[in-house]
Amino acid sequence: MIKSCVTIALVPEIKTGPWIFWENLETGIAKAADLGFDALELFTPAASAIEPEILTGLLQKYNLALAAVGTGAGKVIHGLTLTDPNQEIRKQAITFISDMISFGAQFGAPAIIGSMQGNVVPGVEREQAFEWLAEGLTKLGKHAQSEGVSLIYEPLNRYETNLINTLGDGAAFVQALSTSNVKLLADLFHMNIEEVSLPDSIRAHGASIGHVHFADSNRRPVGLGHTAMADIATALREITYNGYVSAEAFPWPNPDEAARQTIKAFKQYFNNQ
Ligand SMILES: [Mn+2]
């Protein structure tokens, strides 16, 4: 069963990002519930930003699940990445993500590593950067396992990282780690830029996919760009994907209409599963 999810971002520094809701936590949750979403994906400044008891209460009140937690604030606010040449910064990046994993795990939600993977920066050998990334993902994947959740690693398009841009390269990389607890995020916006065929790539690497970001070719809500979504939905059903398709899309033309468009598209492509 494929489930619907909508993003709520509570990080002022990244207000121009592709997240649907920006209001305070309860407003976003209430709107998500009203539209019939199954779950939320949360972006917060840190693991300590929301009291777990408060979130538990709100999820129960509105009968929603927490699908995943994002870690991008670690880079945006603190400049932390897993591939920084400075060992102390890499260590802080691991601590930041580790805390986010433990926060999400209280709700059964995995953490996502996207921008915090970083880049191969000038002066660093490519192999060295990949070693640091592998080291970080392995440590964090094992920590997530001890907390009872998976860890989600997200290949990004070439304009956001020079490490891994496709599901295929991501699958080869996580399969070589000494933990099997790291899964991939199939972000349909990044994939639209990088993959030869989105459905073929989903079919080829289905076993590695743990989460999906649901956005159209221009990163607007699904239905407002030119991605051929029907074939992608078919591929996700073929791999018997049973996780979330989460709207990480621009709040275009505004958050409420973007959320309505997303749930309409979700019903169109996934309701007859
Ligand atoms: Mn994404």
Measure 73 CA to ligand 1 centroid, in angstroms. 14
CATH assignment of the domain containing 256: 3.20.20.150
Active-site residue, 23 included: no
Measure 190 CA to ligand 1 centroid, in angstroms. 7
Catalytic residue of the set 41, 147, 195, 248? 248
Measure 122 CA to ligand 1 centroid, in angstroms. 25
Measure 114 CA to ligand 1 centroid, in angstroms. 7
Catalytic residue of the set 41, 147, 154, 194? 154
Domain count for the chain, please give it. 1
HEC string of the chain?
Answer: CCEEEEEEECCHHHCCCCCCECCCHHHHHHHHHHHCCCEEEEECCCCCCCCHHHHHHHHHHHCCEEEEEECCHHHHCCCCCCCCCCHHHHHHHHHHHHHHHHHHHCCCCCEEECHHHCCCCCCCCHHHHHHHHHHHHHHHHHHHHHCCCCEEECCCCCCCCCCCCCHHHHHHHHHCCCCCCEEEEEEHHHHHHHCCCHHHHHHHCHHHEEEEECCCCCCCCCCCCCCCHHHHHHHHHHCCCCCEEEECCCCCCCHHHHHHHHHHHHHHHHCCC
Percentage of the chain exceeding pLDDT 90:
95
Active-site residue, 257 included: no
The whole-model pTM stands at: 0.97
Residue 34 structural domain: 3-270
Q: What is the pLDDT of residues 15-71, one digit of tens each?
A: 778 999 987 899 999 999 999 999 999 999 999 999 999 999 999 999 999 999 999
Measure 273 CA to ligand 1 centroid, in angstroms. 24
